[in-house]
Structure 1
Amino acid sequence: MEISGRIKFIGQQQQITATFSKRELVVTTEEQYPQHILVEFTQDKCPLLDAYQVGEPVRVSINLRGREWVNPQGETKYFNSIQGWRIEKNQPAGFEEPQYNNQPNTNFAAPAFNNQGPAINIEPASFNSFDADDSDDLPF
């Protein structure tokens, strides 16, 4: 699964236990009703966030995780988490990175024009031939 949007927050790496660490990322989706999605990067995936800054458009590959927990009163509770495992810059559709190697950009196609279609002659309207008494089928 993937989430696309702009980075709203990048947290510092947290050492949860002696052998487990995590880092949080919040991605704001760019849709009619933007969502602020918290994604956790754990263990060896934490450093992946070092190359990113708040405001950058990204695409994050995620796994949706769920777990069950029984509290001391015997009630069963369920929890979900979103775990990130890859992140990459996400350019808007139609955006092309500039080329800096002094080579011309030839990644475009010139518009095609076809002048072989049938000729259509349209006579301009004459205001002198207007007759207010002419009936038509228009409702107004």
Structure 2
Amino acid sequence: MSKSFEIQGVVHSIGETTEYGNNGFTKREFVLKLTGEGENSAYPNYIALELIKDKCALMDSYNIGDELSAQFNLSGRLWSANGKPEKCFTSLQAWRVEGMSSQANNYEQMPPPGFDQGPSMSDFDDDIPF
């Protein structure tokens, strides 16, 4: 069973959906420039992730420059050609992509219109008997 990971970043590139083989297998790649805690802007990290099958459509509503959060699983496999050393390929398979809005981090300071705040503090008698 694979463990799930999450990263945050700005979309650097979005590839086209590509079909492989005769069975209709599809794959789409995108690259995030990582942001968030622990990232040093002087030495940016660019991470390539892939979407497979029905998940390819997850990037349809995003553009280069959008800030995203991506949840993904690590996937690895071995490959060897006749007479050549074995190679290990690792991929980051995204299964959830969500846009990050700056509004999500800003809490409303004022109540929404039509919200009854009740009487103001100046309406109360300040004569406390104790």
Question: Normalised by the size of structure 1, how large is the TM-score?
Answer: 0.65
Residue identity (%) = 34
Instruction: Name the residue aligned to 1:8.
Output: 12
Q: Distance in 1 between matches of 2:81 and 2:105?
A: 51
1:44-59 superposed matches below 5 A = 44-59=54-69
Change (3 A) 1:53 1:80: same
1:6-57 deviation per Cα after TM superposition (whole angstroms, max 9, x unaligned): 0001111111123201111100012203211110001000011111111011
Which structure carries more relative contact order (alpha carbon 8 Å, separation 6+)? 2
Match of 1:20 among 22, 25, 35: 25
Please report the RMSD computed on the Cα atoms of aligned residues, expressed in angstroms: 2.4
Instruction: Provide structure 1 residue ranges, at least 5 long, that are not aligned to the other structure.
Output: 107-140
1:65-86 deviation per Cα after TM superposition (whole angstroms, max 9, x unaligned): 1111122114211111111100
Structure 2 residue 87 is the aligned partner of structure 1 residue 83: no
Instruction: Name the residue aligned to 2:125.
Output: none
Q: Which has the higher strand share?
A: 2
Q: Distance in 1 between matches of 2:107 and 2:64?
A: 20
Question: Normalised by the size of structure 2, how large is the TM-score?
Answer: 0.70
Instruction: Provide structure 2 residue ranges, at least 5 long, that are not aligned to the other structure.
Output: 116-130
